[in-house]
A and B are shown apart, each in its own frame.
Chain A
């Protein structure tokens, strides 16, 4: 090979191209390579030091959930034909991947009740940030009004990226008290209407919200549109963005029927494993008028020269590889394989299954919420409807209670204060119920949690 190249040694290739001062004249300070079986043992040992949902009775949620992933998803995701190609730049040999995108888009449109969907973005919180950028491109206004019911990671992501593209984020609080739990509609309206409403580019809420409450999406959308108003100085209505959880959409009114313009969300609950937080996928659907400003890949139907049905990447003039600095987003590699899992999962659930599953989650969540709230030192944070997750206020330190529960192999949920940093979230526990948590599991949680709280209160009093 060297002779064909016309060099005397491999080193010559590098010496002729990399200037001496920037050549690394030493070995990398890394361990020696290992045979496959040794790497396996090393990684197995590391994984064994993690307590996964396989090892404890887990009620962790807050953005990612331990839903059951059917075996056929593993099998399909591991197929070389789906696992190892890249973005379908050559459609003639990428019809499988392109058709999956097209089917995925169809499923997401149907779930959200919105007419257009892209083929996925990275994940939930960054999808919200991408939607805010879409709003900026659409109307050029500067203010993002965001409900405090958005996931803390979403609010943080929104602030970080909005600072880059020159927008400010105004947070609208939730109503307090047991009758609260929902976005404060008056504050929401006032924030959007500030300065005549013309400065509000986007109005964003979560459905269900971070504390598990099902919001009145139609009321929030209508208020946002009325408050922004065409009479506003900017002459536009704000783009209404909802961060949705797709697994609830079998029973929850679709955002498209609630006046939402752009629905985004974390797709993990659809057939993607936890993976310590990623990879998963972000869904992104919108009304028709936003189609040409959507981020990411979009598959479109067409025909080949012989008239056969086929699929291609379409509307690519939105994208970075064509439009460069004028692109509507910088996204390139997205989450195609995870979106495949999403559409296979939705096919597996099917038209009836997604409703049945939603109703099961609703019933078990209701049972769990009532059962847990019976314990001393536990009260519901709010009384709003909840589908798969709910918040409790404990009369004890959440971290200490969690430690006590862990001794019994139970992880009762997420310490909300630790995640949000909000003072009012001290003592709040967020409990997620998936279809993998049976009544017996919930009863066990109630017993262990009740006992842990009692012990913790006792210990605190003694001290």
Chain B
């Protein structure tokens, strides 16, 4: 495949907004000073004042628009093409959600508005809490955490509060361990450390689930929690989940559900029914927030009865007269994890999504996500692909699957990284690469339910074509990509001598 012809904008050397404009140029027109003039030095003493204006850009509005529209075209995005990034659930973002989030009653609503004058927002939050409780099978919800990793932190702080309240963690040394499988998202062990616990890794068995013997050996009275993703990052639903829950509860620990992969099981299986005590949701994944280039996200949590007293404040409650309020009066609460009530703008979008799909639609979404993943997996098991990119674990998968590029690397001298870069030339965002860590040259594929069979076929064909091409000439993949605004970048050099801002004159 020949490199795609580049547009002049793509070829132009990257110049930042700070390198554009001219002295005195501007976009903002300041409202007039309609109050009596008072010398600034009278209102703000010299020693508290800034001496030199910050060297922000000096640009006109048309320049700003051209600049940002121009650099936007150097981004690949979900609206332009297939984005099968594993564990990220890049499903379509309905534009209705943007419209309703932008209604002035939402967008210009101040978080400290009185409850009686924010009843619509509180009702929406209450409705979302209820829906998340039903979907997870865990009755009590806090919408506050800002993203999945923030939800994880909330969950472990809840776990700590729960054990402390039972007198089960009176001093350091008790309940200080958190078990995480080696397939866990990196946020899990990172959160364990931030919450003041120690990580104990669990092995994965040949089927891709938790190694039960390893769990039995490590589950003891020092364990505070097991953090689990189910289906896990291999796309495997752990068949022993009930037994795992029994073992964890048997030693008095809590069971935490990383909800990153909830898109596989909505309306089909519920974390609460599996025995989990705490779950976080990634509203930006399962409940389709636009991912924004890396946020905003939203990471509500749902918990069982025994953990509920410790939930962060505030939570939305319904009073006897059917009005809604924020309840701050929760004596055992862990407190607050951020300002105000959470990412309400995200709540609006996910609430709209849940109301659009309804009970059948959510189940259909998960079923289609799993169907699409299995179909794509089947296409990639065809001759010419599976020998180089075998499925790492299992036969079927849930909403995502992990291939190993080990044989490809060995036989074709093409690494998973090369395959990923070559996919860029075919117009696809590559799957997640080199994760989970236990799979050699991992390639983690999550197509989501909003892709058509034609797209899945085109992707499978592209993989086959790249492998065929690589068998003839691996150098093509080694040099890829060719058609992108820039080609492979020197990441080592960037880290060695970090240049993380423009030098201003």
A462: Cβ under 8 A from any B Cβ: no
- Listed by A's residue number, 7 A-B pairs whose Cβ atoms lie within 8 Å are A81-B75, A157-B336, A216-B47, A252-B44, A301-B500, A327-B186, A344-B64
Given contacts A36-B356, A157-B337, A363-B35, contact A66 B398 (CB under 8 A): no
B269: Cβ under 8 A from any A Cβ: yes
B293→A336 contact, CB < 8 A: yes
B160: Cβ under 8 A from any A Cβ: yes
Our pick among B123, B290, B355 for the contact of A49 (Cβ within 8 Å) is B123
Closest to B31 in A: A435
Our pick among A84, A217, A308, A323 for the contact of B79 (Cβ within 8 Å) is A84
Give the CA-CA distance A187 to B196 in the complex, in Å.
30
B56→A350 contact, CB < 8 A: yes
Q: Which residues does chain A contribute within 8 Å of B435, judged by CB atoms?
A: 321
B109→A31 contact, CB < 8 A: no
Our pick among B58, B266, B343, B453 for the contact of A278 (Cβ within 8 Å) is B343
B14: Cβ under 8 A from any A Cβ: yes
Give the CA-CA distance A61 to B135 in the complex, in Å.
36
Within 8 A of A (CB), among B120-154: 120-121, 123-124, 131, 134-135, 137, 146-150, 152-153
Q: Given contacts A252-B44, A304-B488, could you give 5 more A-B pairs where the C-beta distance is less than 8 Å?
A: A29-B359, A52-B107, A93-B424, A274-B110, A275-B343
Q: Which residues does chain B contribute within 8 Å of A223, judged by CB atoms?
A: none
B78→A85 contact, CB < 8 A: yes
Q: Which residues does chain B contribute within 8 Å of A53, judged by CB atoms?
A: 108-110
Give the CA-CA distance A322 to B186 in the complex, in Å.
7
A10: Cβ under 8 A from any B Cβ: yes
Give the CA-CA distance A36 to B96 in the complex, in Å.
7
Q: Which residues does chain A contribute within 8 Å of B348, judged by CB atoms?
A: 43
**Interface segment, B363-371, B403-411, B464-472?**
B363-371
Q: Which residues does chain A contribute within 8 Å of B415, judged by CB atoms?
A: none
Given contacts A92-B421, A314-B491, A314-B498, contact A97 B340 (CB under 8 A): no
Contact with A along B343-356 (1 / 0, CB 8 A): 11110100110111
Our pick among B78, B117, B490 for the contact of A302 (Cβ within 8 Å) is B490
A250: Cβ under 8 A from any B Cβ: yes
Our pick among B54, B77, B117, B153 for the contact of A84 (Cβ within 8 Å) is B77
Q: Closest approach, in angstroms, between the C-beta of B69 and any C-beta of chain A?
A: 7
B317: Cβ under 8 A from any A Cβ: no
Give the CA-CA distance A391 to B337 in the complex, in Å.
26
Q: Which residues does chain B contribute within 8 Å of A86, judged by CB atoms?
A: 83, 85, 88, 90, 291, 293-294
Best-buried of B43, B196, B396 by chain A (most CB within 10 Å): B43
Our pick among B157, B335, B491 for the contact of A312 (Cβ within 8 Å) is B491
Give the CA-CA distance A30 to B361 in the complex, in Å.
10
Closest to B27 in A: A348
B495: Cβ under 8 A from any A Cβ: yes
Give the CA-CA distance A199 to B13 in the complex, in Å.
50
Q: Closest approach, in angstroms, between the C-beta of A137 and any C-beta of chain B?
A: 10
Q: Closest approach, in angstroms, between the C-beta of B226 and any C-beta of chain A?
A: 15
Give the CA-CA distance A370 to B352 in the complex, in Å.
45
Q: Closest approach, in angstroms, between the C-beta of A187 and any C-beta of chain B?
A: 21
**Interface segment, A110-118, A171-179, A189-197, A448-456?**
A110-118
A8: Cβ under 8 A from any B Cβ: no
Contact with B along A50-89 (1 / 0, CB 8 A): 1111110010101110100010101110111111111111
Q: Closest approach, in angstroms, between the C-beta of B484 and any C-beta of chain A?
A: 4
A105: Cβ under 8 A from any B Cβ: yes
Closest to A414 in B: B112
Q: Which residues does chain A contribute within 8 Å of B274, judged by CB atoms?
A: 22
Contact with B along A260-303 (1 / 0, CB 8 A): 00000010000001111111010000000001000001111111
Closest to B354 in A: A30
Q: Which residues does chain A contribute within 8 Å of B24, judged by CB atoms?
A: 352
A266→B339 contact, CB < 8 A: yes
Q: Closest approach, in angstroms, between the C-beta of B28 and any C-beta of chain A?
A: 4
Give the CA-CA distance A89 to B192 in the complex, in Å.
24
**A-B pairs with lowest CB-CB distance, top 3:** A33-B358, A277-B340, A47-B105
Our pick among A300, A350, A366 for the contact of B43 (Cβ within 8 Å) is A366
Contact with A along B319-351 (1 / 0, CB 8 A): 000000000000000111111111111101001
A359: Cβ under 8 A from any B Cβ: yes
Q: Closest approach, in angstroms, between the C-beta of A28 and any C-beta of chain B?
A: 4
**Number of residues in A with C-beta < 8 Å to the partner?**
198
Contact with B along A97-124 (1 / 0, CB 8 A): 1011011011101110001110110111
**Interface segment, A11-19, A230-238, A372-380?**
A11-19
B110→A72 contact, CB < 8 A: no
**Interface segment, B215-223, B237-245, B247-255?**
B237-245
Given contacts A90-B76, A367-B36, contact A350 B26 (CB under 8 A): yes
A198: Cβ under 8 A from any B Cβ: no
Given contacts A106-B18, A110-B504, A314-B495, contact A50 B113 (CB under 8 A): yes
A160: Cβ under 8 A from any B Cβ: yes
A46→B123 contact, CB < 8 A: yes
A180: Cβ under 8 A from any B Cβ: no
Given contacts A164-B153, A277-B111, A308-B486, contact A157 B104 (CB under 8 A): no
| Cβ-Cβ contact count across A and B, 8 Å cutoff | 684
A251: Cβ under 8 A from any B Cβ: yes
Contact with B along A352-367 (1 / 0, CB 8 A): 1111110110111011
B43→A362 contact, CB < 8 A: yes
A211: Cβ under 8 A from any B Cβ: no
Give the CA-CA distance A392 to B435 in the complex, in Å.
55
A347→B40 contact, CB < 8 A: no
Closest to A92 in B: B484
B1: Cβ under 8 A from any A Cβ: no
B355→A31 contact, CB < 8 A: yes
Give the CA-CA distance A160 to B36 in the complex, in Å.
45
Q: Which residues does chain B contribute within 8 Å of A332, judged by CB atoms?
A: 147-149, 185-187
Q: Closest approach, in angstroms, between the C-beta of B450 and any C-beta of chain A?
A: 12
B80→A80 contact, CB < 8 A: yes
Closest to B484 in A: A92
A459: Cβ under 8 A from any B Cβ: no
Give the CA-CA distance A332 to B266 in the complex, in Å.
24
Q: Closest approach, in angstroms, between the C-beta of B341 and any C-beta of chain A?
A: 5
Q: Closest approach, in angstroms, between the C-beta of A209 and any C-beta of chain B?
A: 13
Closest to A268 in B: B339
Closest to A153 in B: B339
A444: Cβ under 8 A from any B Cβ: no
A327→B487 contact, CB < 8 A: no
A458: Cβ under 8 A from any B Cβ: no
Give the CA-CA distance A351 to B56 in the complex, in Å.
4
Q: Closest approach, in angstroms, between the C-beta of A306 and any C-beta of chain B?
A: 6
A336→B294 contact, CB < 8 A: yes
Give the CA-CA distance A29 to B90 in the complex, in Å.
26
A333→B56 contact, CB < 8 A: no
Given contacts A28-B134, A327-B190, A333-B295, contact A89 B27 (CB under 8 A): no
Give the CA-CA distance A111 to B57 in the complex, in Å.
12
Closest to B63 in A: A347
Q: Which residues does chain A contribute within 8 Å of B484, judged by CB atoms?
A: 92-93
Give the CA-CA distance A17 to B236 in the complex, in Å.
8
B259: Cβ under 8 A from any A Cβ: no
Our pick among B75, B99, B432, B481 for the contact of A40 (Cβ within 8 Å) is B99
A159: Cβ under 8 A from any B Cβ: yes
Closest to B37 in A: A363
Q: Which residues does chain B contribute within 8 Å of A51, judged by CB atoms?
A: 109, 113, 117-118
A83→B292 contact, CB < 8 A: yes
Closest to B199 in A: A325
B123→A354 contact, CB < 8 A: no
Given contacts A123-B339, A310-B14, contact A64 B43 (CB under 8 A): no
Give the CA-CA distance A151 to B112 in the complex, in Å.
13
Give the CA-CA distance A357 to B40 in the complex, in Å.
12
Within 8 A of A (CB), among B294-333: 294-298, 312
B76→A93 contact, CB < 8 A: yes
Q: Which residues does chain B contribute within 8 Å of A442, judged by CB atoms?
A: 35
B53→A351 contact, CB < 8 A: yes
Q: Which residues does chain B contribute within 8 Å of A304, judged by CB atoms?
A: 486-490
B150→A165 contact, CB < 8 A: no
